[in-house]
């Protein structure tokens, strides 16, 4: 089969991980980069056509797949333009600034009959794929509790986030909309569907518009899971952005711990010591090469595999996000339908 010809829209900070992954994926050929700043597009990759206008790129290149890596406020117009060409696409998260706009984006793709996958990459991180494998195998017994502590340590002072993604400072909804959404999706991947949420959110850095710390409790059928996020504080890791924090999953037969260096350990019930759990992964790209894994999945979907991350399925994450903000605003537990 000939290589899938991929065009990337957006040449900002995170696009480097997309571009690197496409360059390493068998079965993909990167054919175009689009950015309103042509210098950024030209600097992103050598030997690739560059454009400042999406329509001009679509006319000139006719890609097989479009990868949208731009801020959320741009997504609706870009999805509409690509869908009008009947092309499959991947779109970075947050899918849209609001749930209503995300629903409209999903409807646009549905109406055009095109595949729209959301680039929600945490569930593709190798430690979560291995955790899911262990859970499905019953290695922990009956799981009752989980706790994730987000501690990237990048949110202090007036220059917080300016070196990578400066628009973070202006987002009216930040910690949950931009960051905790990763764990909402990951918790669903690991534990199934949540039935209720309760949240307390805070803004600690006055230099930003949105919240940057919070505690969110999720109720699943059998598991209570806690997201404890604080972007001002850090955790012990060689690279604090590798896992962004630490995870503990507790079951009746064993507990599983993820540290900031991607190491998994298991402690059997009643034992004093944790034992290393070895599994294969590579510390390249972003987050254990999760961008590569997600994009490989996208190629498999184009070849007929069942998708994990369609826009329509992703709307559930955004419904839960909205419930989190309502819970924090009203100080109550919110049931999820």
**pLDDT, one tens digit for every residue, the chain (337 residues):** 689 999 999 999 999 999 999 999 999 999 999 999 999 999 988 789 999 999 999 999 999 999 999 999 999 999 999 999 999 999 999 899 999 999 999 999 999 999 999 999 999 999 999 999 999 999 999 999 999 999 999 999 999 999 988 989 999 999 999 999 999 999 999 999 999 999 999 999 999 999 999 999 999 999 999 999 999 999 999 999 999 999 999 999 999 999 999 999 999 999 999 999 999 999 999 999 999 999 999 999 999 999 999 999 999 999 999 999 999 999 999 999 8
* Plot region of 240 (φ>0 → left; ψ -120 to 50 → alpha; else → beta): alpha
User: Nearest 5°: phi and psi at 324?
Assistant: -60, -45
In degrees rounded to 5, what are phi and psi of residue 31? -115, -15
| Phi/psi-derived region of residue 286, left when phi > 0, alpha when psi is between -120 and 50, beta in every other case | beta
71-79: long-range pairs with CB below 8 Å, 24+? 71/12, 71/167, 72/96, 72/97, 73/97, 75/105, 76/101, 76/104, 76/105, 76/108, 78/9, 78/54, 79/105, 79/108, 79/109, 79/116
Question: Residue 55 belongs to what H/E stretch?
Answer: helix 54-61
Q: What is the pTM of this model?
A: 0.95
Structure tokens that stand for 76 in this block: 């609706």
Estimate the crossing angle of helix 126-136 against helix 290-302, to 10 degrees.
70
Set out the domains of the chain in order of their start, with CATH numbers.
Answer: 4-121+292-309 (3.40.50.720), 123-286+318-335 (3.30.360.10)
| DSSP assignments along 238-289, one per residue | SSTTTTSEEEEEEESSEEEEE-TTS-EEEEETT-SS-EEE-------TTTTT
8 A C-beta contact, residue 249 and residue 131: yes
In the chain, what are the helix, strand and coil shares in percent, each to the nearest 5?
35, 25, 40
As a whole number of angstroms, the distance between CA 188 and CA 316 comes to 10
Pick the closest to residue 148 from 195, 211, 215, 199 (CA basis). 215
* Residue carrying structure tokens 């490989």: 296
Residues in a beta bridge with 28:
4
């Amino acid at each position: 089969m000939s290589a899938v010809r991929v065009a990337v829209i957006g040449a900002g900070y995170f696009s480097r991980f997309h571009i690197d992954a496409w360059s390493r994926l068998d079965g993909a050929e990167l054919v175009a980069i689009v950015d309103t700043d042509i210098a950024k597009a030209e600097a992103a990759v050598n030997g690739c056509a560059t454009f400042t206008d999406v329509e001009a790129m679509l006319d000139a290149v006719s890609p097989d797949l479009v990868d949208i890596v731009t801020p959320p406020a741009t997504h609706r117009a870009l999805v509409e333009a690509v869908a009008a060409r009947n092309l499959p696409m991947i779109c970075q998260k947050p899918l849209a600034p609001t749930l209503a706009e995300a629903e409209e984006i999903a409807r646009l793709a549905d109406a055009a009959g095109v595949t729209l996958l959301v680039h929600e990459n945490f569930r593709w991180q190798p430690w979560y794929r291995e955790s899911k494998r262990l859970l499905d195998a019953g290695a922990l017994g009956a799981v009752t509790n989980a706790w994730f502590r987000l501690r990237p340590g990048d949110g202090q002072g007036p220059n917080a986030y300016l070196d990578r993604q400066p628009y973070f400072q202006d987002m009216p909804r930040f910690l949950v909309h931009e960051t905790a959404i990763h764990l909402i999706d990951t918790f669903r991947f690991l534990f199934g569907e949540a039935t209720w949420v309760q949240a307390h959110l805070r803004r600690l850095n006055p230099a930003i518009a949105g919240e940057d710390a919070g505690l969110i409790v999720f109720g699943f059928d059998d598991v209570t899971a806690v997201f404890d996020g604080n972007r001002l504080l850090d955790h012990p890791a060689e690279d604090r952005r590798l896992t962004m924090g630490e995870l503990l999953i507790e079951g009746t037969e064993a507990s599983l711990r993820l540290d900031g260096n991607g190491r998994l350990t298991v402690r059997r019930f009643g034992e004093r010591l944790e034992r290393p759990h070895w599994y294969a992964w590579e510390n390249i790209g972003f987050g254990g090469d999760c961008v590569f894994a997600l994009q490989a999945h996208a190629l498999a979907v184009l070849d007929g595999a069942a998708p994990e991350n369609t826009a329509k399925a992703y709307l559930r994450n955004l419904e839960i996000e909205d419930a989190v903000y309502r819970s924090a605003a009203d100080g109550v537990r919110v049931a999820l339908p």
